[in-house]
């Protein structure tokens, strides 16, 4: 993201102005939603200006001229060139977008896939809360399955975030795994670390593993101790 | 207790973690990602933490939003590992090699985080070192 200094008249409050580059607008949406900011972001592309309204951890409204709501949000999220910056703008009396921000990002990513010739999207359909289950997932392929339950979630993504295999993951979860991986890569870069191998996080009894296997990302969630041990062994994370 | 004294005590607590073989060093960041204190080689300077701290907080928020919160997080790279222990007062991070005893690291981190929490109680979100120096 290329940050540029703001001029005296283009920003009415402290904030930022950034050039759009590839996936940074989705990153911005995620950041604003996770930080639960209440803010309007003006997105300017070559021939149009759009506005995204963030409140209570969601995108609640979007507009481009007379176009409003989800349709406007989808259009703005499809823009790959331009700038974005915070601005002051009148808020609508009520939210015009009811879909989650994860839904909007996933839909935008699918639309981008469809625009690219020869690219088949493996992303889940936004209409379904849970992505489709595919048979044949070999991760974690627990040995001695009698000792462990199947993980609650097994997800395999390609490097662009498209789902290759899925069992039990929602569309929101797939977007979060992809986002977490990008963040870990940036953290590794800042630390001067070599390649990312795996992430393991704990929340109560539940363990989440995100690992890199070949050209894919694999995410596994389980709360079963035997399964967790098997996943660690399978992913080479025992030590 | 003043912020400066508390930060000095945090630094002392962090330095103890290097007694574990394979530990390169550690740091503590505030809930908003400001560097509170570090015990790391100088190459990991304050400027680096101005970027790193908020990114670590954002990663933790992302992971927490995917499930039932976040108790601990271990990042494994080919050469180093980073163990993160979030708490009410911020996050303790430890950088160590693959040869370090992970159980010893985790146990020590829990103890260190408890001590640091006691030092920082009531001090709010600690500003970054540059802001503390100006104050």
Partner-chain contact A203 B71, CB within 8 Å: yes
Classify residue B25 as exposed, middle or buried by CB count within 10 Å of its CB (0-12, 13-18, 19+): middle
Q: Please, which residues have CB within 8 angstroms of residue A72's CB and are 6 or more apart in sequence?
A: A50, A62, A63, A64
Size of interface A-B (CB pairs under 8 A): 97
What region, left, alpha or beta, does residue A161 occupy, with left being phi > 0 and alpha being psi -120 to 50 degrees?
left
pLDDT interval class at B56 (50, 70, 90): very high
Q: Summarize pLDDT for A171-206 with one digit per residue, the tens.
A: 788 888 888 998 999 999 999 999 999 999 999 888
Q: Is the pLDDT of residue B133 over 90?
A: no
The order of strands in the sheet holding A163-167 is A163-167, A153-158, A216-222, A206-213, A196-203, B72-77, B81-87, B90-96, B23-29, B35-39
Candidates A195, A201, A206: best to mutate against B (most CBs of B within 10 A) is A201
Report the CATH number at residue B121.
3.30.450.30
Which pLDDT belongs to residue B91?
96
- ipTM confidence score: 0.92
What the block records as the tokens of B130 is: 């540059």
Q: What SS3 state is found at A139?
A: coil
The number of distinct structural domains making up chain B is 1
Partner-chain contact A183 B43, CB within 8 Å: no
What is the biggest distance separating any 2 CA atoms in chain B, rounded to whole angstroms? 42
Q: What is the Cα Rg of chain A in Å?
A: 20
Q: Domains of chain A by range and CATH?
A: 18-102 (no CATH), 122-234 (3.30.450.30)
What is the distance between the alpha carbons of residues A8 and A113, in angstroms, rounded to a whole number? 39
Smallest CA–CA separation between A173 and chain B, in Å? 6
Q: What is the mean pLDDT of chain B?
A: 91
pLDDT interval class at B125 (50, 70, 90): confident
Interface of A with B in 193-222 (CB under 8 A): 193-204, 206, 208, 221
Which pLDDT belongs to residue A233?
81
What is the distance between the alpha carbons of residues A113 and B28, in angstroms, rounded to a whole number? 41
Smallest CA–CA separation between B1 and chain A, in Å? 30
What the block records as the tokens of A137 is: 């997932």
Q: Which residue is listed with tokens 């509170």?
A: B36
pLDDT one digit per residue (tens) for chain A, 239 residues: 333 333 333 333 434 556 554 446 777 887 788 778 899 999 988 788 999 999 988 899 999 988 999 999 988 988 877 788 889 999 999 999 988 887 787 777 767 666 655 444 444 444 434 444 343 344 444 343 344 556 778 888 887 778 888 888 887 888 888 889 989 999 999 999 999 999 999 998 889 999 988 788 889 988 888 888 888 887 777 66
Which pLDDT belongs to residue A169?
84
Is A56 an 8 Å CB contact of chain B?
A: no
Residue of chain B with shortest Cα separation from A31: B58
CA dist A58 to A64, A127, A146, Å?
A: 18, 18, 43
**Helices in chain A by DSSP H: which ranges?**
24-34, 70-77, 101-115, 171-191, 225-234
Is A187 an 8 Å CB contact of chain B?
A: yes
CA-closest candidate to residue A3, choices A77, B48, B33, A15 = A15
Q: Summarize pLDDT for B73-119 with one digit per residue, the tens.
A: 999 999 899 999 999 999 999 999 999 999 999 999 999 999 999 98
Is A95 an 8 Å CB contact of chain B?
A: no
Candidates A193, A204, A213, A217: best to mutate against B (most CBs of B within 10 A) is A193
Look up the domain containing B80 and give its range: 3-134
Contacts of B82 in chain A (CB under 8 A): 187, 191
């Amino acid at each position: 993201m290329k940050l540029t200094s703001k001029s005296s008249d283009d920003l009415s409050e402290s904030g930022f102005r950034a050039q759009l580059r590839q996936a940074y607008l989705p990153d911005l949406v995620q950041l604003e939603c996770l930080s639960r900011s209440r803010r309007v972001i003006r997105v300017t592309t070559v021939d149009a200006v759009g506005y995204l309204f963030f409140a209570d951890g969601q995108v609640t409204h979007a507009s481009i001229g007379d176009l409003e709501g989800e349709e406007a949000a989808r259009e703005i999220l499809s823009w790959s060139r331009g700038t974005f910056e915070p601005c002051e703008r009148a808020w609508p009396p009520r939210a015009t977008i009811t879909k989650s921000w994860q839904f909007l990002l996933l839909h935008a990513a699918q639309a981008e896939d469809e625009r690219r010739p020869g690219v088949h999207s493996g992303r889940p359909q936004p209409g379904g809360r849970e992505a489709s289950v595919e048979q044949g997932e070999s991760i974690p392929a627990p040995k001695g399955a009698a000792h462990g339950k199947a993980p609650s979630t097994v997800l395999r993504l390609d490097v662009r975030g498209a789902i290759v295999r899925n069992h039990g993951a929602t569309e929101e979860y797939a977007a979060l795994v992809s986002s977490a991986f990008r963040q870990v890569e940036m953290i590794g870069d800042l630390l001067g670390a070599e390649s990312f191998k795996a992430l393991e996080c704990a929340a109560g009894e539940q363990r989440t593993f995100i690992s890199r296997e070949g050209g894919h990302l694999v995410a596994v969630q389980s709360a079963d101790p035997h399964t967790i041990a098997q996943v660690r062994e399978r992913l080479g994370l025992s030590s | 207790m003043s912020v400066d004294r508390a930060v000095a005590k945090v630094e002392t607590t962090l330095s103890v973690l290097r007694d574990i073989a394979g530990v390169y060093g550690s740091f503590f960041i505030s809930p908003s990602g400001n560097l509170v204190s570090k015990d790391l080689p100088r190459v990991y300077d304050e400027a680096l933490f101005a970027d790193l701290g908020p990114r670590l907080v954002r990663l933790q928020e992302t992971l927490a939003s995917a499930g039932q919160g976040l108790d601990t997080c271990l990042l494994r790279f080919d050469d180093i590992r980073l163990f993160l222990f979030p708490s009410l007062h911020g996050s303790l991070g430890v950088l160590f090699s693959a040869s370090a005893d992970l159980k010893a690291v985790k146990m020590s981190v829990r103890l260190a985080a408890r001590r640091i929490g006691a030092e920082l109680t009531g001090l709010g979100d600690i500003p970054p070192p540059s802001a503390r120096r100006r104050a």
